[in-house]
């Protein structure tokens, strides 16, 4: 993966933290704001934030069609939290924009109002133990097709892989751990 450039969609949300983590992995990171920049990268992270806002901005700047085009050519994509929502084909009770690239049905803000955010110890297939920071997090209600569950928390699916795509309901960029980054970078 030396010489590879990873883009972080930098329209809204926690993109700077992903950039720092990628630098700690020793790869080139680029904040992506335009469709042209998508052409320059070898992999894309869609960060946490507000999925409706990120989705609207993505469409306004024509990034949606460019991301889909590059994904069809094999570009790996990883969505965290709001990014997971944007990758889903189905979002419970919502008509909001989504890229629809993963065979998952997500429920937004799914862990309940009384627990806005929490940390949990997770076990991830192929990676092992890792810490998960959940902030108004979604979970995955259902998967189908080629999608595979990589982690569950209290019986809820919180991490899924589908070919070169990854989705995490939690925020690895808010911990010191780089295990999931390395797993993603192996796809690049
Ligand atoms: N609840 C937010 C959404 O659905 C996601 C929260 C986050 O990314 N931390 O957009």
Where helices occur in the chain by DSSP H, the ranges are 15-24, 35-38, 51-60, 63-72, 82-87, 179-185
What pLDDT, on the 0 to 100 scale, is given for residue 112?
77
Domains of the chain as residue ranges with CATH = 5-185 (3.40.50.880)
pLDDT of residue 136: 95
Please tell me the distance from the alpha carbon of residue 174 to that of residue 155, in angstroms, as a whole number.
Answer: 23
C-alpha of residue 48 to centroid of ligand 1, in Å: 6
> Which one of 45, 109, 171 would you pick to mutate in the ligand 1 pocket, going by the greatest count of ligand atoms within 8 A of its CB?
109
Query: Of 73, 67, 68, 90, whose CA–CA distance to 147 is shortest?
Result: 90
Write the CA distances from 40 to 22, 33, 58, 160, integer angstroms.
16, 12, 17, 26
Distances (CA, A) of 86 to 27, 66, 128: 25, 15, 26
- The pLDDT confidence band at residue 3, using thresholds 50, 70 and 90, is confident
The secondary structure of 129-146 as a DSSP string is EEEEEEES--EEEEE-TT
Mean pLDDT check: name the lowest of 65-69, 111-115, 171-175: 111-115
Q: Indicate if the pLDDT at residue 2 is higher than 70.
A: no
Confirm whether 173 is a catalytic residue.
Answer: yes
Residues with CB under 6 A from ligand 1: 48-51, 81-82, 85, 108-109, 135-136, 138
What is the structure's pLDDT at 50?
Answer: 97
Residue 137 CA to residue 134 CA, distance in Å, equals: 5
Q: Rg of the chain's alpha carbons, rounded to an integer?
A: 15
- Residue 142: φ, ψ to 5°: -160, 145
| Per-residue pLDDT at 114 | 60
Q: What is the per-residue pLDDT across 66-80, written as a single tens digit (0 to 9) for each?
A: 999 999 999 999 999
Query: β-strands 148-153, 128-135: how paired?
Result: unpaired
Are the CB atoms for 37 and 7 separated by under 8 Å? yes
pLDDT digits (tens, 9 = 90+) for 123-167: 999 999 999 999 999 999 999 999 999 999 999 999 999 999 999
* Cα 64 to Cα 91: distance, rounded to the nearest angstrom: 17
Tell whether the model's pLDDT for residue 113 goes beyond 80. Answer: no
């Amino acid at each position: 993966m030396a010489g590879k450039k990873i883009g972080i969609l930098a329209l809204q949300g926690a993109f700077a933290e992903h950039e720092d983590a990628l630098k700690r992995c020793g790869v080139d990171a680029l904040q992506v704001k335009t469709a042209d920049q998508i052409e320059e990268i070898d992999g894309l992270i869609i960060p946490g934030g507000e999925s409706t806002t990120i989705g609207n901005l993505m469409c306004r700047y024509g990034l949606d069609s460019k991301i889909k085009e590059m994904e069809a050519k094999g570009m790996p994509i990883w969505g965290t939290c709001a990014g997971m929502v944007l990758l889903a084909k189905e979002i419970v009770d919502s008509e909001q924009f989504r890229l629809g690239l993963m065979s998952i049905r997500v429920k937004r803000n799914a862990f309940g109002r009384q627990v806005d955010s929490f940390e949990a110890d997770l076990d991830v297939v192929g990676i092992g133990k890792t810490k998960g920071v959940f902030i108004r997090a979604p979970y995955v209600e259902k998967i189908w097709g080629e999608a595979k569950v990589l982690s569950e928390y209290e019986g809820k699916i919180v991490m899924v892989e589908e070919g070169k795509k990854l989705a995490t309901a939690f925020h690895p960029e808010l911990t010191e751990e780089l295990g999931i980054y390395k797993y993603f970078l192996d796809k690049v």
